Structure 1
Amino acid sequence: MPTILIIDDNDAIRTALEVLLSLQGHRVIGANGPQEGMRALVSHEIDLVLQDMNFRKEATSGEEGIALFHAIRERNPSVPIVLLTAWTHLETAVELVKAGAADYLAKPWDDARLLTTVRNLLDLRRLSVERERAVRKRAESRAALAARFDLCGLVFESDAMRDVVTKATHIAPADVPVLVTGPNGSGKEIIAAIIQANSSVRSGPFVKVNVGALPRDLMEAELFGAEAGAFTGAVKARQGRFEAADGGTLFLDEIGNLSLEGQAKLLRVLQTGEFERLGSSVTRRVKVRVVSATNADLRAAIAEGRFREDLFYRLNVIELKVAPLAERPDDVLPLTRHFLEGRELNAAAERALLAHGWPGNVRELLNTIRRACLLSTGPQITPADLGLEAVASAAEPEFEREPDRAEIEQALARARGVIARAARELGLSRQALYRRMEKLGLKEVGGRE
């Protein structure tokens, strides 16, 4: 049951509010002045404060209310505060709204308006508490993982990436091949690094090969080595990547590009640990943990005869799927802050980053932030520095665009229910935000001027 604190020196007003709010199922605590109100904040968990602006009969300046507001805000920065004011003190109330008050209500108030305001602020506080609890739980989960395992500096907050990392650390000690799938730039290589860092061969070499970057006629020589004269330009014998990775882990990126001949040799190595260098009949033996990765649909490649089915099942003993960045938006801002290295974003830039689709995934985000840091001339990075605003404006001009429900809810959550602050972040007037919330069913209000 939410607890509402009413601070007003007028017994009749306090009683009327207590009755009205109690009938709605709220727990109500009354205080006849600032000192009693502050004591209630210390001794009770308060979800919302309704406070008067003057507490002495001769007082009309609102200075007591201003002092109380700042005292409450210092004591409990997150609790929403609604100001009760006479029309003669609206200017003061507006200034306090700018300073963080959630809303103001003029005396005499409209019961329906007051109940709607209270209900929405309590709903937003509940959502905010739930989000904070979820964030705290994710942080604790990440901390527990980081305490037990080497996460190789991976930055993440999303449940999707946490699940992948948890699985990676769980299967890391097992001596079985792992296939990491996901789009380009999504973080497959760092998942492979986490597997190596927590494996039984973590003290051994970690050799990375981008199979997609190798010329097809040199691919086998690169992987398995070659003797002198095995092909044009091979003037001396060379060790392949499997030999270099002996006793450790070999990461084969873009495995779908391996030739059928190379696939046959790879299958043999996985089954027996044996292979021959190109141009040699000498059989060599290695013990290598293979982690492969691809952004391709290997099942479709099998159906088209471009990839061996038996190799697929040998590589795919364990499959880890890395979701694209667009499907884990909780990672966007943490990654951005990591890439910024001390620089700051303004609120509009954060919204632009969250609204972008990131077809290039984490790699695109990294390049975007690097470019923004180079181009930015102000104290904070703006949407113009990011170079993403052109995409948004082309689809929907900013001056015509209305924020959707999710954007408003996120802005209100970040503003902790403070209407004026959320409106500023969204680029709306306070009245326009109220109207938009009413239209979306977030708040049932009439126009306020």
Structure 2
Amino acid sequence: MLNLLVIDDNPAIGQALQTLFSLQGYQVHAATTAEQAWQLLAQHSMDLVLQDMNFAAGEMQGVQGKALFYQLQQDYPTIPVILMTAWTQLEMAVELVKAGATDYIAKPWDDQRLLLTVANALKLKVLTAQQQRREREQQAVFAGKDLCGLVFASSTMQQLVQMALQLAPANAAVLITGPNGAGKEGIANLLHANSPRKQKPFIKVNMGALPADLMEAELFGAEAGAYSGAHKTRIGRFEAADGGSLFLDEIGNLSLSGQAKLLRVLQSGEFERLGSSVTRTVDVRLISATNTDLTAAIAEGRFRQDLYYRVNVVQLALPALAERSEDILPLARHFLAGQKALSQAAEQRLLRYPWPGNVRELQNVCQRALLLSSSQEIQAEALGLPETPQNKRALDDISREQLQQALRQAEGVISRAASQLGISRQALYRRMEFYGIDAP
């Protein structure tokens, strides 16, 4: 059961808040003085503090509340604090929120807004703790490894990165699959940077950006006069990558004749430049990527089956950003580079958006927000994203892991788990059904 501490010199307000939150499954402790608050904090493990700003008759400046808040922050830095007052000037509230207070609620309060504010604060606390734990785990698991700037918090990505690091020392061809903008090139960088070839060239070719008639010359090179406009000898990407790694992005776009040559070089390491009969030999580790279904392309005669087995010795499937929502906020903060912070509403907008453009779209949104936001805290409107109504959120916007953890922490009480996640009980039931989780 989650423990809330209410600090207010008016016993009637403490009683009202006890009634309101007890109905939602919280355990509420009330203190009318700062001294009582410290005693309760020493006796119980508190999950959140609702703090008034004035504790003496006639006190309206909030000096006592300000001092108490800073002491709470020093002694209990992980406990969210929500400030409540009818008197304190807005300037002081803004100062304390900037100093670390979770939010500011004016009296008289709106019950639903207060409940939602508390639920969101607790959810953010859980997510922050999860992120910190995962960061510690990552530091231990990936110590001494070059992550090439990859930012992730989800267990899905951690498993994928671990698998990529396990494959990195080998020479086996790797096929990275996933939608556009999901970060396939980042996984390719990681494979090369942690391989014995890391001091050798790492050559990248975007097959989707090359005209079909230039693909073979790009990959295998061409002698002068081999085709119209070839005025001098051209070194192909395979030659340039000799001893290192070659990354072929969108390999499904390679022509059938180019596929035949690629198959030969993968089998024997041998190839000829266009217009040349001289056989050349290279030692290259191939990393490929695609956002298309190559098995469907094989069935349609657009991709060679024998080549598929050569490039797909091991496959790394990179999920869409919407399938790993735990990565959204860490990535957003990474793209903002500490220049500006995200408001709570902005974070919620980011979490609810479906991200059809994946990580690349998120990066563009953050860059635009940095340019257009006039304050140090980015508001939801500055993101330029449409609002997604709560009842239309995707069922996988909360991961199975988050859902199960919330149910464990709530000891199986649905209403409490739903409040912790910031959704309704009906929405929680729908997500449990979606993941096949039985009701406790």
TM superposition score normalised by structure 2: 0.70
Determine helix, strand or coil for the equivalent of 1:252: strand
- CA shift digits 1:100-130 (9 cap, x unpaired): 5789899xxxxxxx9x999999987875554
Structure 1 vs Structure 2: percent identity of aligned residues? 49
Task: Determine the structure 2 residue equivalent to 1:359.
Answer: 356
Partner of 1:207: 203
Give the unaligned 5+ runs of structure 1: 84-89, 107-113, 397-401, 411-433, 443-449
Offset of 1:39 from its aligned partner? 4.4
- Tell me the equivalent position of 2:181: 185
One-letter amino acid of the structure 1 residue matched with residue 256 of structure 2: L
**Which residue of 236, 240, 245 maps to 1:244?**
240
**One-letter code of the match for 1:45?**
S
Number of the residue aligned with 1:140: 136
Equivalent residue letter for 1:273: G
Name the CA shift for 1:40/1:239 in 2 (closer, same or farther; >3 Å). same
Asked whether 1:258 is paired with 2:254, we answer yes
CA shift for structure 1 position 152:
1.0
- What's the CA shift for 1:199? 0.6
Change (3 A) 1:199 1:135: same
Change (3 A) 1:10 1:316: closer
Does 71-80 or 154-163 show the bigger shift?
Answer: 71-80
Q: Work out whether residues 62 and 88 of structure 2, in 8 Å CA contact, stay in contact via their aligned partners in 1.
A: no
CA contact (8 A) 1:206 1:248 kept: yes
Larger Rg: 1
Which residue identity lines up with residue 151 of structure 2 in the other structure?
A: V
> Would the alpha carbon gap of residues 176 and 129 (structure 1) be closer, same or farther in structure 2, given more than 3 Å must change?
same
Contact 2:86 2:108 in 1 (8 A): no
8 Å CA contact 2:320–2:358 kept in 1: the answer is yes
Distance 2:121 2:230 in 1: 70
- Note the C-alpha offset of 1:281: 2.1
Aligned to 1:225: 221
Q: Deviations over 1:181-222 (max 9, x none)?
A: 111121111110110000111111001111222222221121
Matching residue of 2:35: 35
- Deviation of the 1:171 alpha carbon: 0.7
Aligned partner letter, 2:361? E
Higher mean C-alpha deviation, range 147-156 or range 2-11: 2-11
The one-character-per-residue Cα deviations of 1:382-422 (angstroms, maximum 9, x if unpaired) are 45543x34xx37xx8xxxxx644979x99xxxxxxxxxxxx
Partner residue of 1:421? none
Q: Contact between 2:182 and 2:320, CA under 8 Å: does it hold in 1?
A: yes
Q: Which residue of 2 aligns with 1:158?
A: 154
1:46 match: 46
CA contact (8 A) 2:204 2:247 kept: yes
Q: 1:137 to 1:9 in 2, by over 3 A?
A: closer
The residue number in structure 1 matching 2:300 is 304
Is the aligned partner of 1:293 residue 2:305?
no
Distance 1:323 1:355 in 2: 17
Aligned partner of 2:187: which letter?
I
Tell me which residue corresponds to 1:420.
none
Residues 327 and 441 of structure 1: CA distance in aligned 2, closer, same or farther (over 3 Å): closer
- Contact residue 223 and residue 274 of structure 2 kept, 8 A: yes
- Residues 38, 101 of structure 1: alpha-carbon distance in 2 compared, 3 angstrom cutoff: farther
Cα distance change on mapping 1:218 and 1:134 into 2, 3 Å: same
**Which stretch shifts more, 164-173 or 140-149?**
140-149
Counterpart residue number, 2:434: none
Q: Say whether the 8 Å CA contact 2:175–2:315 is kept in structure 1.
A: yes
Q: Who is 1:337 aligned against?
A: 333
Deviates more, 1:367-376 or 1:249-258: 367-376
Contact 1:82 1:105 (C-alpha < 8 Å) held by counterparts: no
CA distance 1:343–1:297, shift in 2 (3 Å): same
**Aligned residue number for residue 318 of structure 2:** 322
In the TM superposition, what are the counterparts of 1:336-415 in structure 2 within 5 Å?
Answer: 336-344=332-340, 346-347=342-343, 348-386=345-383, 388-389=384-385, 392=386, 403-404=390-391
Q: State the 1:336 CA deviation.
A: 2.6
Q: Hey, what's the Cα distance between the residues in 2 that align with 1:225 and 1:363? A: 32
How many residues in Structure 1 have an aligned counterpart in Structure 2?
390
Q: Is the 8 A contact 1:158 1:330 kept in 2?
A: yes
**CA contact under 8 A between 1:51 and 1:65: conserved in structure 2?**
no
Matches within 5 A, 1:91-102: 91=86, 100=103
| Aligned-partner Cα distance in 2 for 1:170–1:150 | 13
Question: How far has the Cα of 1:362 moved from its partner?
Answer: 2.2
Distance in 2, matches of 1:368 and 1:121, equals 26
The superposition leaves residues 14-55 of structure 1 with CA deviations (integer Å, 9 ceiling, x where unpaired) of 9xx99xx99x99999898953354245346533466889998
Q: 1:74 aligns with which of 71, 84, 87?
A: 71
Q: Counterpart of 1:223 in structure 2: which amino acid?
A: L
Q: Quote the RMSD (CA, aligned, Å).
A: 4.7
8 Å contact from structure 2 (residues 48, 122) kept in 1:
no
Evaluate the alpha carbon distance shift between residue 65 and residue 4 of structure 1 in structure 2; reply closer, same or farther with a 3 A threshold.
farther
